[in-house]
Structures are given as structure tokens and as C-alpha cells.
Amino acid sequence: MAQVLEFKLPDLGEGLTEAEIVRWLVQVGDVVAVDQPVVEVETAKAMVEVPCPYGGVVTARFGEEGTELPVGAPLITVAVGAPASGGPEVPATGAEGSGNVLVGYGTSEAPARRRRIRSARPEPAASVTVAAPAPAAPVLPGVPAGKPDGPVPVISPLVRRLARENNLDLRELTGSGPEGLILRADVENALRGAAPRDRAAQLSPGSSAPSGSRRVPLKGVRGAVADKLSRSRREIPDATCWVDADATELMRARAAMNASGGPKISLLALLARICTAALARFPELNSTVDLAAREVVQFDHVHLGFAAQTERGLVVPVVRDAHARDAEGLTAEFARLTEVSRDGRLTPADLTGGTFTLNNYGVFGVDGSTPIINHPEAAMLGVGRIIPKPWVHEGELAVRQVVQLSLTFDHRVCDGGTAGGFLRYVADCVEQPAVLLRTL
């Protein structure tokens, strides 16, 4: 006699309360092993695979791709001990479950191919016996319900989401990718060519928005960023100071390092080394404010966040213990986190716990900015583009590589003298890298 167990969407940690189903990894009738990933979901922080703590036969799935579910909502039901498609009975080894319902919170025998994610608050789902409901007819993401199913040559969940949010039927598109694969550009081109009445139909009833407008849901990464920036502006009395610096010697030092034949060193890594050295001299800026206790908490480690632009929006991955890494180690970690950011594979742990942020907005071709502090941190260093400019060097006018540096800081943790001292030290290291070597 098979026991049917219900597996609910687990607590994914870091205060996340909901997730969107991006892709089902199993079908009704599939046999699953304990801790096998069964669904890929997207939270406000990352895409993660969710493993099932039970082994058996999938009897039902709850929610189609594109559906947003709250934590604790049913995901699947699994019949433990049931025969699979007339085959031998599945052993009831998963009846108790692994107790591990988060990615990275599984048995020690879990395959190495799985992406491992640690949660701050692992919480096993409850086991209950329920009647297995009949499986619902599948609905293709990006395809309105009620239309006959058909193969849609699209792989990217981002493309499916874009089509779904704009009420676009993917089956009506001709993909420009290999073997007719529908790309994001195909969807965007279709949306640009949509009639104004079609776009206006997406507006809610009674909306006063003009014809041709469309509404973009403020959710996922964009929604999380909006919430965090709003909170930062509400809670943090920030101030910004800035200075121009001659980066010619820093660029020469980097060129010399990269000409030595060893691993290439990134400019971001050198700036990170300067940041960690500056924070060691001005620890007030490597801190956070505990409002409840009315205390400033200064950290003895530097978990350095850096801004990265991706298709999912702006994210801030965190380099753990940046103060303990050399330029080569920082370069490698920046490269790794940038790659997984672009692939949408950042874990919640990759995106939280930062104590200071380095924002290189110069990659966008701009000189300066007054960024909003990454709450609950106390400061952010901004770096503009490095370009040739007239500069007085050793008493003479010359063309030098000049960069604008800006520091936005929480005025509760320090006054302008400390902030100015930090920024001046950073500028001195940029202008004369030997300053950094003397203080290490």
C-alpha cells in the first residue's frame, strides 16, 4: 500500500517568502530519488533547484511554470512504495524523507552536479498522507490557457517570462536561433511591433494610462531592489564626497603585473585591495547600525559586495573575506561570481552578508554617481571611468589617466573627517600604488 506524501515549498532562507516556478524537472509518473531536484524556482535573489526529501513516484504537481507560490504551499505529492508504470514496487526508503529540503542541505551522498546552497534557516517540510489528485493538464509558459498544446522552441526561462508578462503567444513567433529557437530578441521585436490596442489591453481596468503604455510587474529582482533601495533611503541619512585622482601609475602597475607572465590581475581586484586596506585604517565605514540597540556594529572582516548588471537586473554578489585575499585571489573570485551572475546561478548566500560595496559604474561610460547605500551597510565606494584628461603633474600640464572616486556613507557611523580621510587614502593609493605597499 503506497503512502502519499506532500512536499511543500521550503523556506529558502534570507527572509524570502515566495518563489516563482521556472521549470519543472520531473513529470507526473516519474520515479524520484531522495534529495533529487524536482523543480527550478526563481526567488527575489537567485534561481535555485529544490530537491525533494522523499523517494517514490510523483503523483501530482502543483503550479504551472510561471506560477508564484508562497513558502509552505504544496509543490508535489510522492507515492512512497508505489510501483512505477507497472514495474517493481519502489522501496519505501523515502517515507521518512532525508529531512533535507533545501538545495545544499541534502545527504552526504548527493551527486556533485547539483548546485549547493546553504540556508540560514533549514526547515523540513511536514509529512502528511493525502489522496493523490488527478494531474492537471499542462500549460505552456508564455502560451494563453485554452490553446492546444504544441512544441514551443524556447529554452530560456527569461524569454518565457517576458512573453508571459506581455501576454504574447510564443507559438505565433518564428525563432531566429538555431533550429528555430526563440530568442529574447524575437520576443522584444514582436512586442515593439504589437498594436497599441494590444499593449493597452494589458492595463488594469479603469487605468488612466495613455494608449500605448504597458505595465511591468515590480517583482523578482526588480522588486527586491526597489524594496531595498526604498528602505535605504528611509533609514539611512547618507552623504557623498568625491575627488578626482590620477590613476596613471595604478594602470602602469597593473600592466607591469600582467606582463610578468602570471595570472592576469583585474582593475577591480586592485581597487578591492585598496578598499580593504582603507577599511583597516577607517573601520567606522565597515559597519552597520543596529537601530534597536542604538549601536554601531563594526566588523572585523570585510565581505565585499560589487555591483553587477545582468539580464535579471542589478545584483550585488559578495566576495567573502576580501581582506584575506590577494590580487590574484580577488580576480579569480570576481570572475567566478560575475559568471554565475550572468547565468542566473547566484545563490542567496552569494548575495547577502556584505559589509561594504564597491561600485564600478565607470563600465557604463560615466564619470560620477551618488549611489544609494546597499542597506544595511554603512558605505559604498564608487569608481567612474578612467580617461585621459589634462592634469598638472610635477608642476607641468600633462595628459594623465584620471578617475573620479566617490564615497557615499551613513552619517550616523562617522562624520565628514573620517569619510574624507578614507577617500583621500584611496585616492593616494590610486595615484601612488607604493602607498598601499608601505601600509600592508
By annotation, the residues acting in catalysis are 411, 415
User: Which among 241, 231, 330, 245 is positioned nearest to 282, based on CA atoms?
Assistant: 241
DSSP string computed for 324-338: G--HHHHHHHHHHHH
With b meaning 16 or more CB within 10 Å and e meaning fewer, what string describes 146-176? eeeeeebebebbbbbbbbbbbebebbebebe
SS3 139: coil
User: Which among 104, 143, 131 is positioned nearest to 4, based on CA atoms?
Assistant: 131
User: Which among 359, 362, 355, 376 is positioned nearest to 304, based on CA atoms?
Assistant: 355
Residue 424: DSSP 8-state: H
Question: What is the C-alpha separation between 374 and 296, in angstroms, rounded?
Answer: 16
End-to-end CA distance of the chain: 69
The answer to whether the beta carbons of residues 275 and 440 sit under 8 Å apart is no
The answer to whether the beta carbons of residues 239 and 401 sit under 8 Å apart is no
- Reduced DSSP (H G I as helix, E B as strand, rest coil) percent helix, strand, coil of the chain, to 5: 30, 25, 45
The answer to whether the beta carbons of residues 356 and 304 sit under 8 Å apart is yes
The answer to whether the beta carbons of residues 401 and 387 sit under 8 Å apart is yes
